[in-house]
Copies of this chain bind each other. A is one copy, B any other.
Amino acid sequence: MTVTLADVAARAQVSPATVSRVLNGNYPVAAATRERVLRAVDELDYVLNGPASALAAATSDLVGILVNDIADPFFGIMAGAVQSEIGGPGGRAGGERMAVVCNTGGSPERELTYLTLLQRQRAAAVILTGGAVEDAEHAEAIAGKLRRLTEAGTRVVLCGRPPSPDTDAVALTFDNRGGGQQLTEHLLGLGHRRIGYIAGPEERTTTRHRLEGHRAALAARGIEDDPALTVHGPYDRRSGYDATDELLRRAPDLTAVVAANDTVALGACAALRDKGLRIPDDVSVAGFDDLPFSIDAVPALTTVRLPLHEAGARAGRIAMSKEKPPPGGVATVHGELMVRGSTAGPR
């Protein structure tokens, strides 16, 4: 049968407790004894039983990272960064912590399900990335879960997501509103007045904030917001393509298109090209996020760079208590406008 800690103890001629101590390295053990135990572990090819150890210690080495879409580099970059910070020695049971990323698909139900699963596993920490769905009921359900999670000793960090009120969750929020505003200001500064806006899915914080920034920039210039110039859709290429067709139909006079993110912007570029329109000569295009491929678009995409890696790493450190949480538990992470070839003055 499967070899247990007791087997190791027997072979090393020590008590189970001692074996446990050398394995967890959190208690003094004589060098000679430790040596003997380690050898026994090796000879027996022993592997600690995670569930048993988690049960006894009432905590596990699991760190959960929730993402909306694992196929989207936006999340992949953050998840990878988080993970690079949570590993390494220091945890229980051999020192290795296990980062697990959970793909919610943007569905609040799955988000809740995963949080419950993580709660079940007595996760050491949970990090939620990306925008949240704006539904009072779900927000409350999530907040409740987060509350129970923190009460149970799980550290919760939100990365790229607004704070969750009445919760001990630390939040690193992206300044989507400010970024959106900068972007549109840039376009207005170039002389554009008829700007199409391809927003993300409705009812999501990210979508709303970016759109608000856009409108704020418009308002600041006294430009009336034409509802016909805004179209909503998912965060994918196809949506950008279709939305651009639609915008062009509604407003053939538009001179610029702002997309909810870079992926959508690429779709917009494709639609424009297929219509024989040149970028930026006929229509300027801008994205958001500055994902790695954006600089390789032709022309290179003007966008707002979000420090995804840095934010993820910081979230990871906070989750591991390697870094102090920001005062008030909330920090705003700003984007940086990257002006490139896809935007220019209107013809």
Partner-B contacts on A (CB < 8 A): 2, 45, 47-55, 60-61, 69-73, 75-77, 79-80, 83, 93, 96, 98-103, 105, 113-114, 116-117, 119-122, 148, 152, 237, 263, 266-267, 269-270, 273, 292-293, 295-298
Contact = CB atoms under 8 A, between A and B. Distances in A.
A83 B103 CA distance: 8
* A60, A70, A121 interface centre (most CB from chain B within 10 Å): A70
Given A75-B76, A76-B76, A270-B296, 18 more contacts: A45-B148, A47-B116, A47-B120, A49-B122, A50-B54, A51-B53, A51-B60, A61-B117, A70-B70, A70-B101, A71-B79, A79-B103, A98-B114, A99-B103, A100-B102, A237-B292, A237-B296, A263-B293
A49 B122 CA distance: 8
A308 to B, nearest CB: 9
Nearest to A117: B98
Copies in the complex: 2
**From DSSP, what is the main secondary structure of chain A's interface residues?**
helix
Given A70-B80, A152-B2, A113 B99 contact: no
Contact of A79 (B53, B70, B119, B273): B70
16 contacts: A47-B148, A50-B121, A51-B122, A69-B76, A70-B83, A70-B101, A71-B80, A72-B73, A73-B73, A83-B103, A96-B113, A99-B103, A266-B293, A270-B295, A270-B296, A296-B297
